[in-house]
Structure 1
Amino acid sequence: MVQDQPLVPRNQEETKLILNRLRRVEGQIRGIQQMVEEDRYCTDILVQISAANSALKKVGLQVLEHHTAHCVVKAAEDGDNGEVMDDLISAIRQFSKS
């Protein structure tokens, strides 16, 4: 059930929340780049990297929640039961690598 298009598109509010979170992560990354350029203390940089990783993981969880609650449910309702679980497990495995 690999899809090019989502089974259930995100609503505008979900999209807005995800994009806002990603913009914050982008700002964090730029801040980390600046810290490196300024030769800041390594521990301070590592703390910021950890914060950026955590923020990005939250975005991933939000996307995974949408996928599970909407796309997987819709596919199951449409009778794609065998592939649905394989797709969900694959998505969870891929996400958990990060």
Structure 2
Amino acid sequence: MELDTEEMKPVINRLKRAQGQLSAVVRMLEEGSECKDVVTQLSAVSKALDRAGFVIIANGMERCLSSETEDLDKKELEKLFLSLA
């Protein structure tokens, strides 16, 4: 199953923002920034990645459920979903 690149554009944008945020976390650590600021930024990265993952999995589940040609592997989908928890 392939994901629709058009539907994934918002996810790609979110991941690019998270990539920038993660670079900022690394820079903050290298510069000895305040712990509170680093943790706040790291939390934002984590939430962005979680949201992106949920959208990707939801899109994949929707495509599997609507596809008559592909078998739905519930165990595999469950494993992917739980890996984000």
TM range (shorter): 0.7 to 0.9
Q: Do 1:25 and 1:52's aligned partners in 2 also have CA atoms closer than 8 Å? A: yes
Q: TM-score, normalised by structure 2?
A: 0.84
Which residues of structure 2 form unaligned runs of 5+?
none
Partner Cα separation in structure 1 for residue 56 and residue 70 of structure 2: 23
Percent identity, aligned pairs only, is 28
SS of the aligned residue for 2:6 comes to: helix
Q: CA deviation at 1:11?
A: 2.5
1:42 corresponds in structure 2 to 35
Partner Cα separation in structure 2 for residue 11 and residue 90 of structure 1: 22
Which residues of structure 1 form unaligned runs of 5+?
1-6
The residue identity in structure 2 corresponding to 1:95 is L
SS of the aligned residue for 1:10 comes to: coil
Q: CA deviation at 1:20?
A: 1.1
Q: When the two structures are aligned, how many residues end up with a matched partner? A: 85
Q: Do 1:72 and 1:88's aligned partners in 2 also have CA atoms closer than 8 Å? A: no
Q: Mapping of 1:57-68 within 5 angstroms?
A: 57-68=50-61
Structure number with the bigger relative contact order (C-alpha 8 A, sep ≥ 6) is: 1
Alpha-carbon RMSD across the aligned residues, in angstroms, is 1.8
Q: Do 2:14 and 2:52's aligned partners in 1 also have CA atoms closer than 8 Å? A: yes
Partner Cα separation in structure 2 for residue 19 and residue 79 of structure 1: 25
1:93 corresponds in structure 2 to 82
